[in-house]
Amino acid sequence: MNAGTQNKMIKHISVRRSAIEKMLETMREFGANGWELLALWVGEIEPSGEAAHVVQAFVPKQKALTSEEGVGYFVSGETLFELNRALAETGLRLIAQVHSHPHMAYHSEADDRYAIVTAEGGYSLVVPDFGDAPADPCAWAAYQLRGQEWLELDESDVRRIFKVIE
């Protein structure tokens, strides 16, 4: 299973609040150094292909990037290969990519170009303020890949698609 592969039929994603809170805590720790952080939601997809359950917010090995142009992160090809192998061995799937931004949450040109999720229908979430945000995807920016373009989802779409469970 390619790390960028995602079932385009996924219409509902559930994720535990504790997984989100742990991810946000890690984002804040990285953010204290002025660094963005990438996390990958991995989990199980129901046989219908329409619903997914996030098992873990996995933080891959990454290198923080800072320059006059801004901040970012880099994930090596070797790390992506290891991720693919782990997904194949466990049977888990890549559900969505989530990363932090220093201030506003939006999908930058770099986010578009270097996305880990590359399959039609895939999801990308951007958390503002280096993770100092509510554990609610409606407080973030959410995008879906459609026709090779990342389209922003409105709040009603985010509420319909993403369900935070206790």
123 DSSP β-pair partners:
96, 144
pLDDT at 131: 97
* pLDDT tens, position by position, 94-130: 999 999 999 999 999 989 988 999 988 999 999 999 9
pLDDT score recorded for residue 2: 43
Question: For strand 38-45 and strand 93-100, is the pairing parallel, antiparallel, or unpaired?
Answer: antiparallel
128 in Cβ contact with 101 (< 8 Å): yes
Segment 4-56, tens digit of pLDDT: 444 447 999 999 999 999 999 999 999 999 999 999 999 999 999 999 999 99
Q: Are 44 and 53 in contact (CB under 8 A)?
A: yes
Q: List beta partners, residue 39.
A: 98
Parse the chain into domains and list their residue ranges. Answer: 12-165
Query: Contact, 123 vs 13, CB < 8 A?
Result: yes
Q: In what order do the strands lie in the sheet with 12-16?
A: 149-152, 141-146, 123-127, 93-100, 38-45, 51-58, 12-16, 162-165
Mean pLDDT to the nearest integer, 130-152: 96
CATH architecture assignment, domain 12-165: 3-Layer(aba) Sandwich (3.40)
Please tell me the predicted confidence (pLDDT) of residue 70.
Answer: 81
Q: Determine the residue type at 92.
A: L
Alpha helices in 32-145 (DSSP H): 77-90, 109-113
- The pLDDT value given to residue 69: 76
Handedness of CA 82, 95, 64, 74 (dihedral sign): positive
Tens-place pLDDT, residues 43-90 = 999 999 999 999 999 999 999 888 777 888 989 999 999 999 999 999
* Residues with Cβ within 8 Å of residue 89, at least 6 apart in sequence: none
Q: How far apart are CA 65 and CA 119, in angstroms?
A: 25
Amino acid type, 166: E
